[in-house]
Structures are given as structure tokens and as C-alpha cells.
Amino acid sequence: MAGTTITPLGLFISAGSFQFLLSFSQRPERLIFHESKQNEACAKNGLKGESAASDDELMSDVISHYSSASEGTSVLEEGTGGEQVDEQTAQEETEDKLKQCIDNLMDKSAKTRLAALESLRQAFSSRLLYDFMTERRLTVSDCLERSLKKGGGEEQAAAATVFSLLCIQLGGGDEAEEGFKMLRPILTDILTDSTANMAARQSCARALGMCCYVSTAEEGEDLVKSLALLENVFMSSYPNREGALPTPKPGTPGLHTAALQAWSLLVTLCPASRLSVLLDLHLPKLQACLESADVNYRIAVGETIALLVELARLEEFDVEDNESLCESLKSLATDGNKHRAKNDRRKQRSIFREVLHYIENEDFTEERIRFGVESVYIDSWGKRRIYDAFKEILESGVRHHLQFNPLLRDIFGLGAPLILDATVRVNKISRFEKHLFNSAAFKARTKQRSKVRDKRADVM
């Protein structure tokens, strides 16, 4: 191309006139240079101006400008400023979407409300939004109350799940307790309504157990009422006076499973005086339920039996008829009935081998849960029930909450969240300060639940 020079930067420059564009992918600087008609006229008249400068001088200026822009951009990318801006922008976008979801909870369309509930469920399970939700908890609680009262079965089930996540987000403080007291009567009505949607009843059973566990009041009144409600649900699966198990109606095994698992979660909070009563009442009946036709209910029963026996041993209570229990467990641990699905048999044998091994040898198979650079060890049936309950609600987000949510870290004894970001590592608290913080948090939580957890206090 005559009269044209190709520079190392890939710019085409002609002697008479020039026009070029510099574009940098994914960078904020976009430099566009155009020769104006006025400068072109100056060049023709031999006048001195910016466009009349030599090609070498022009390229020197461009290279110098490009180098400074690149240098500034590198500093922005390598430093903390760019990351902070990006993180802040992402946070603002997330909050805007959440605000829209909250607005959609009041929409007339059931489809829109369901979509909003699903979006909130995903957001609550995958992120920690304490500050954002503290300011809007009353609004969200009112919307969930409306969905539980007036929505269809699917909407009721989704609203109960979102309410459980809201309590986890609020961290079990006064805010969560206030919300639980407001919605507990509605959860109870749906759970005990035999004509209500079965999926909604199951979700309400799980919500009742989780929200009560997270926000139990000092006097233990919520715990007593929740235990009784859940008992009334799964006790309908107990054998009759003749010792025969009732024929379950469609959907009831799933409801009984959800109620029993929620109940066993709350049992981990019971004082010794109440635990003794529960053992005498439920252990023989639960052993009979090992013959249930539903595999998931049988497994839930087996795990609950192991939990009750574990708690009894911690309190040095005697477990009666241990031999008969072991015989029933051995039968299920080696079950080879062909009329049952292969996967069901495999799952059942695995669980009941663990239960039998613990009953006979007091040996629990420890499990290690890794998240980030940390781990939590599940070394008892009680801790497994607690972890499984949170995992069922949070799903894949359970590891994120273990890493950052103070509530879960407190429950599993992990201390304050670790500070790993290199940009803020210089501000990391000392080991002594961390110790003081953990001690204060532990004492506060212990005091809050002292009357519930204290083995000497008969709050029941």
C-alpha cells in the first residue's frame, strides 16, 4: 500500500491523512483518534499543529499513551481496587435481583410467586445475606405467611422451605425467633391438616424442626410444642394394640419420614429428664416400625434408634431388650429379598450395618466433610442428624455456609470464619483476640439455650 507504514502496534498511517482505532478487549480504555478537517487544512497550508507532526513523533506519543494506559490497568487488576469494585458491583446486582424477587412474592400470578420463591431459595442456600435480609425480614415473613395461607400446595411447600432458609440466614437470633413465633401456627395447621397437600405437609414438618432448632427460646416452650406436634404425625405409623402395623395411605410414609427426622433433630436439644421419657415411650415402638414396607422410613427409623441409644448411653441409661433389637437390625443389614429394588437393598444394608455395629460395639464410622481449607468431622449419630438436616435444606450450599455462616460454625464448633484473602490478611485478628471472640460467642449461645440444654433442668 503506497504511502502507508505498518507500525509494530498494527496501526496504518498514511502521510497525507490518517485514521486509526485502538481497541483493548475487556478493558475500560477505548482510544479513538480521528483527524479533524481543521487539522487537515492546517497540514495542507504547512501550519504547525497536532496533525502536522511527523509520523515518528506521532507514534512516539501513541506508544507513550498506550504504555501509561496499560500500566494503569495492570495496577488496577493486580491491586485490591479492581477486585473490590467488581465484588461491590456483583453484590449490588445480586441485591437488585433479590429486591425484585421480594416484590414478585406479592404478585397476583401464582407462577410468578413460585419463580420468586425458587430464586430466593437458590440465593439463600448459596450465599450469606444477613445484612440484606435483616432489613427486609418482616416484609419477607409477611409474604411467606401469605403464600402459606392462600397459596396452593406447591407454593406452600416452597414457602416453608424458604422460611427455613430465612431462619438460617438470620443466624438463630431474636429475629429468627420472632419470625418462628409468627409462622409456627400456620406451619402447624398445614402439618396437621389431613386434607392438605402432602408435599406441603412434608415441607412444613422439616421447617418446623429446623426453625425450632435454630431459634429455640430459653424457656423451651417452642421445643415442647414442636416435639409433641411432630410425634403426633409419625406415631400414626406405630403398631396397633394387636401389634400389627397399619396400612399406610399414599404419601404418608414420606410424611412420617420427614416428621421423624425433624423430631430426632429436636431430640438432640432435650434435657436428660425428658430424654428418659422419650426412650421409654418410643424405642419399643420404633423397633416394631423396622418392619415398615417403605425403605426410606425404615432407614429413618434405624438412624433414630441409633441416635436414641447414643443419647441414652451418654446419660448412662439402660436400653432394654438389646438382643431383640440387634436381631432385627441383623435381618435388615443382610436383607436379600428379591421383591425389593436392588438400590434400596444396597442402601438399606449399608445403613443398618452401621447401626448394628454401633449398637453392638459402640463404634461410629467417622465421616470427614471438607470445605475450603477446613474440615468438620461427623463422629456421632447426633452430629450426623444435625448435619443431614442442614444439608437437606441448604443442599449444595451447605459447604459455603459451613465456611462463612457463624450459626453453622458455632453449632459444629468451628469458631469464627477464617480470613484467607491476601488483600485483607494484614487486618486478621490475633490468635488471642480470636480466642476471646470464640469464648464470648460460645458463652452467649450457651446462656441463650441453658434452660433447654441443662440436663438438670426439667423444663418439660
With cut-offs at 50, 70 and 90, classify the pLDDT of residue 432: low
More confident residue, 441 or 96: 96
Produce one character per residue of 357-381: b if its CB has 16 or more CB atoms within 10 Å, e if not.
Answer: bbbeeeebeeeeeeeeebebebebb
Mean per-residue pLDDT over the chain, rounded: 78
User: What is the structure's pLDDT at 343?
Assistant: 77
Cα-to-chain-centroid distance, residue 363: 30
356-384: average pLDDT: 93
- Determine the residue type at 173: G
With cut-offs at 50, 70 and 90, classify the pLDDT of residue 79: very low
pLDDT over 70 (residue 27)? no
More confident residue, 82 or 13: 82
With cut-offs at 50, 70 and 90, classify the pLDDT of residue 261: very high
- β partners of residue 33: 20
Could you read off the pLDDT of 207-224 as tens digits, one per residue? Answer: 999 999 998 754 578 888
99-119: average pLDDT: 96
More confident residue, 303 or 450: 303
Q: How far apart are CA 43 and CA 53, in angstroms?
A: 9
- Distances 82 to 28, 70, 90, 101, 232 between C-alpha atoms, Å: 11, 14, 12, 29, 57
User: What is the structure's pLDDT at 345?
Assistant: 78
Q: How far apart are CA 355 and CA 368, in angstroms?
A: 18
Among the residue ranges 20-34, 130-144, 257-271, the one predicted with the least confidence is 20-34
Among the residue ranges 121-130, 236-245, 419-428, the one predicted with the least confidence is 419-428
User: What is the structure's pLDDT at 90?
Assistant: 77
User: What is the structure's pLDDT at 354?
Assistant: 94
Could you read off the pLDDT of 332-352 as tens digits, one per residue? Answer: 988 766 566 777 778 889 999
Could you read off the pLDDT of 188-211 as tens digits, one per residue? Answer: 999 999 999 999 999 999 999 999
Q: For the beta carbon of residue 66, count every other beta carbon within 10 angstroms.
A: 15
User: What is the structure's pLDDT at 232?
Assistant: 95
Domain ranges of the chain: 4-78
Unique residue bearing C-alpha cell 440465593: 123
DSSP string over 196-259: S-HHHHHHHHHHHHHHHHHH--TT-HHHHHHHHHHHHHHGGGS--TTSPPPPPPTTHHHHHHHH
pLDDT over 80 (residue 44)? no
Distant-in-sequence, close-in-space partners of 94: CB < 8 Å, separation ≥ 6: 123, 127
